[in-house]
Amino acid sequence: MKIATKGRVVIVGGAIMGSFCAWSLRRAGFTGPIAVVEKDPTYQYSSTALSAAGIRTQFGTPENIRMSLFGADMFRNIKTIFGEDADVGYRERGYLILGTPEQAGARKAAAQMQRENGADILALDAQQLQARFPGIRFDDVGIGTLGARHEGWFDAWSLLTLVRRAARQLGVEYIAAAVAGFDTRGCAINGVRLSNGDVLACELCVLAAGAQSGRLAAGLGIDLPVVPKKRTVFCFKTPFTLPNFPMLFDTSGIWIRPEGEGYIGGIQPPQDRDADADGDFEPHHELMEEMFWPRLAKRIPAMEELRLQRAWAGHYEVNTLDHNGVVGPHDELSNLIFATGFSGHGVMHAPAVGRGVAELVTAGGFQSIDLSALGWERIRDAEPLVEAIVY
């Protein structure tokens, strides 16, 4: 693609993905002006701020595994990168993903593929799981895969604060406004129209608007299958304790992990209650008693005694084609780059995507991790690169 060296780069979306794109551009040597447009500078409803903020290497797509490895390495070395006061609360406790006996063969093969791509995944049977995690029932489990390294959770707000501050220190401008539309000339975007009436001239535009990316792309006549889906997180306390409790994904669809002195967890709503969630941040309160609590108590009997403290909802930017991110240039609008559609794993992959976007701009192609399989062409041609391990 064309290498932009002097003109303004406008990044639409100022949360974790857009901020890592801006910071990475500067780190890669881009010296032109960079403007990041963010409609909510408080980030109150940002998917980043409302995320459960996990990182895992257990994916079905090699590119996702490699991006996670890059992110985990950054989190372990956060002080070296962002300064001695930097802390994102990274806890490398692993993801424990349970499978049924019928899934055991496929899951073992997936773990082998993940190991071949640099992950450190253990495949454990029910007896091994019971010895490692007492108090959790595994009698109906055929396999549990556990990330021995490179997996855990962190504070997404702290990470956003760090990278946003670092980007500003490098001269990145943050503009508090919504994007109202785009001006085009020929095969390029030449202006980004803001809700305050301003028009930002640009040489290159990066679409990193998360769950709203599909809506914004539609204004350019682009059918980008990225929509907002509401996901509820329950925060609760229970007498059950286990010092090495991981991020647990159950065969029933629930997930749970420690948080402070308690736990957080959730479950996707049934498909008939999973409409696009434009502007809707009201938690699915009914899911606690209908679906989450009974399944949790079945897996961890001591957690039948539970006290709900609060619940919140955020938006997943779901790529309805294949649940994978879209990274790279558009085929017709030559100066539009996508960095969106990560379907719940955008926070963990933002560092690697930011670096990839910076490489596209400053070097004309991916240099570190080849992300071309995540490009726009598969969207255009309706040829999904399916990420099967999604929650």
Coil vs helix vs strand at 195: coil
Rg, the chain, Cα only: 21
CA-closest candidate to residue 350, choices 317, 385, 320? 317
pLDDT for position 389: 86
Instruction: Give 92-149+230-314's CATH code, choosing from 3.30.9.10, 1.20.1740.10, 3.40.718.10, 3.30.450.90.
Output: 3.30.9.10
Separation between Cα atoms, residue 59 and residue 116, nearest integer Å: 12
Residue 174 has pLDDT above 90, yes or no: yes
pLDDT for position 96: 98
Q: What is the torsion angle, in degrees rounded to the nearest 10, for the CA atoms of residue 287, residue 293, residue 296 and residue 300? A: 170
pLDDT for position 256: 98
Q: What is the pLDDT of residues 33-64, one digit of tens each?
A: 999 999 999 999 999 999 999 999 999 999 99
Residue with tokens 């802390």: 87
pLDDT for position 260: 94
Residue 292 tokens read as 């989450």
**Terminal C-alpha separation, the chain:** 34
Which residue ranges make up each domain of the chain? Answer: 9-52+156-225+321-380, 92-149+230-314
Q: Tell me which architecture the domain covering 9-52+156-225+321-380 has in CATH.
A: 3-Layer(bba) Sandwich (3.50)
Q: What is the pLDDT of residues 249-272, one digit of tens each?
A: 999 999 999 999 999 999 999 999
Q: What is the pLDDT of residues 64-88, one digit of tens each?
A: 999 999 999 999 999 999 999 999 9
Kindly state the percentage of the chain with pLDDT values over 70: 99
Coil vs helix vs strand at 21: helix
Fill in the DSSP letter of residue 91.
B
Instruction: Give the burial class of 83: count Cβ atoms within 10 A of its Cβ; 0-12 exposed, 13-18 middle, 19 or more buried.
Output: exposed
Q: What is the pLDDT of residues 296-336, one digit of tens each?
A: 999 999 999 999 999 999 999 999 999 999 999 999 998 99
Residue 3 has pLDDT above 60, yes or no: no
Number of C-beta neighbours around residue 284 at 10 A:
22
Residue 4 has pLDDT above 60, yes or no: no
Separation between Cα atoms, residue 244 and residue 282, nearest integer Å: 32
Q: What is the pLDDT of residues 92-123, one digit of tens each?
A: 999 999 999 999 999 999 999 999 999 999 99
Q: What is the pLDDT of residues 111-168, one digit of tens each?
A: 999 999 999 999 999 999 999 999 999 999 999 999 999 999 999 999 999 999 999 9
Separation between Cα atoms, residue 31 and residue 36, nearest integer Å: 15
CA-closest candidate to residue 37, choices 178, 138, 131, 153? 178
Separation between Cα atoms, residue 5 and residue 362, nearest integer Å: 7
